[in-house]
A and B are shown apart, each in its own frame.
Chain A
């Protein structure tokens, strides 16, 4: 029974990891590629580490596994936000089918109100 739970968690995590890699190759834009890499990658690693903690089932391993999951959940959004902000401010070219750019309108509005 324990092995079945571990197997399901591990295969699900590996599937999410593969989806993250495929999305990183197939998607058209930096800001769109970050969707695949951060979210699916973090979920895949979290499932795999959870499966490892279920397999060993000692308090030391569970503590380490929860530490890894908490650290990944804490740092992945911060890193993605930093990369996205740096790429946007640097003027990385967006996808040619992008039709809304809220940040450009917002910054323009901010400069307009600051000038008046």
Chain B
């Protein structure tokens, strides 16, 4: 029982390190896509924290919280990715929207520094 408590502490510390690193990337990410990737990782790591809490507090009801968090996190990722993708295409080209994107679209897109 002692080794289990010790390893729960170690795993919580390691996961918290990953969480802090994800938050650093979310604060100083150069582009929006960096922040979306960091948000995805933070949500996934919160599922891990929740599972470890279920282990530490000896209460399996925390796994439900992790399941709901995984669902909501995936929806948030999909919504942010769709927003990022469609936000550029709306003012740029309504004409050649269904054709595959050519290189002329990538040239003026370097001006964005969000």
Size bracket, chain A contacts:
35 or more
User: Which residues does chain A contribute within 8 Å of B103, judged by CB atoms?
Assistant: 104, 107-108
Q: Which of A24, A49, A71, A108 contacts B41 (CB 8 A)?
A: A24
What secondary structure prevails in chain A residues at the interface with B?
helix
Contact of A83 among B15, B17, B37 (CB under 8 A): B37
A89 and B85 form a contact (CB under 8 A): yes
Q: Determine whether the beta carbon of B88 is less than 8 Å from that of A89.
A: yes
Contact B37 A34 (CB under 8 A): yes
The residue that A6 contacts in the complex, of B4, B31, B102, with Cβ under 8 A, is B4
Cα(A60)–Cα(B110), bound, Å: 51
B residues 96-114 touching A (CB-CB < 8 Å): 99-103, 105-106, 109-110, 112
How far, in angstroms, from A15 to B48 measured CA to CA in the complex? 12
Nearest to A7 among chain B residues (CB) is B7
* Interface, chain A (partner B; CB < 8 A): 3-4, 6-8, 10-11, 13-15, 17-22, 24-25, 30, 33-34, 37-38, 41-42, 44-45, 48-49, 51-52, 55-56, 58, 60-61, 64-65, 67-68, 71-72, 75-76, 78-80, 82-83, 85-87, 89-93, 104, 107-108, 110-111, 114
Residue in chain B with minimal CB distance to A83: B81
Q: How far is the CB of B95 from chain A (nearest CB, A)?
A: 14
Contacting residues, chain A, for B40 (C-beta < 8 A)? 37-38, 41, 79-80, 83
Instruction: Give the residues in chain A near B4, CB-CB below 8 Å.
Output: 3, 6-7, 55
